Amino acid sequence: MTDADITTATADWHAWQESWDRQQEWYLPDREERFRIMLDMVEPLVGAAPRVLDLACGTGSITARLLGRFPDATSTGVDLDPALLAIAEGTFAGDDRVRLVTADLKDPDWPAKLPYDAYDAVLTATALHWLHREPLADLYGRVAGLVRAGGVFMNADHMIDETTPRINAAERAQRHTRMDQAKRDGILDWAEWWQLAAKDPVLAEPTARRYEIYGEHADGDMPSAQWHARVLREKGFGEARPVWCSPSDTLLLAVK
């Protein structure tokens, strides 16, 4: 099925998941590698049947890969986006390993909505750059309160080192050259994907609500990996450092 066909496949949640993955991979060609390393680190630290909080879960990309690799795992997905949560709800309908929660991560009381007080692992990817430094630091404090002793937090996201401007410029130029070619080959970008969702009979209403909440895109920060590691240690994690990186992205792991 092509992206253009999705509007005729009402509630084909698998097709929507595939389309979301393709759109995200346009920005993040190493996306699957990030997920693989994330789960590689989960297993030796918290085992093969972890209770996971999928933070800012979107369509449930992390949860899908978690359950595919660890069938005995459980996942709580939390997000505010009604359209992406609709896709997640359709994808995981009937799977009692998955719970989905609607909550605003900027609300200090959001953890009260979760079904559990503690998690073995809190995982997130390409989401927290929507937050500025101060609310992100506050969020890290709440995450530290949810991770059990010995548990882990992992964040895979854009983490920019402002002390390397020439390297950053070269990476940006290379990335945009690749993205331009993929665009010419027909890949949907962020705006085009959301335009498609807005035309779908099932997703049109939650997509409209999503734009009421976020607008086109939130304007957050992308501090360095060193900043993330320092703040996580300050908020209660015993260890924190990158365990994977690409020219544009970092996977940072913290252990409670």
Residue 179 host element (H or E): helix 165-184
CB of 5 closer than 8 Å to CB of 221: no
Average pLDDT along the chain:
93
pLDDT cut 90: percent of the chain above it: 83
Per residue in 151-192, pLDDT tens? Answer: 999 999 999 999 999 999 999 999 889 888 878 888 888 889
Non-local (6+) Cβ contacts of 220 within 8 A are 128, 129, 130, 131, 132, 136
Non-local (6+) Cβ contacts of 135 within 8 A are 106
Per residue in 80-136, pLDDT tens? Answer: 999 999 999 999 999 999 999 999 999 999 999 999 999 999 999 999 999 999 999
Non-local (6+) Cβ contacts of 8 within 8 A are none
Q: How many whole angstroms separate alpha carbon 119 and alpha carbon 132?
A: 25
Q: How many beta carbons lie within 10 A of that of residue 145, not counting itself?
A: 13
Determine the distance from the C-alpha atom of residue 182 to the mean position of all C-alpha atoms in its chain, rounded to a whole number.
22
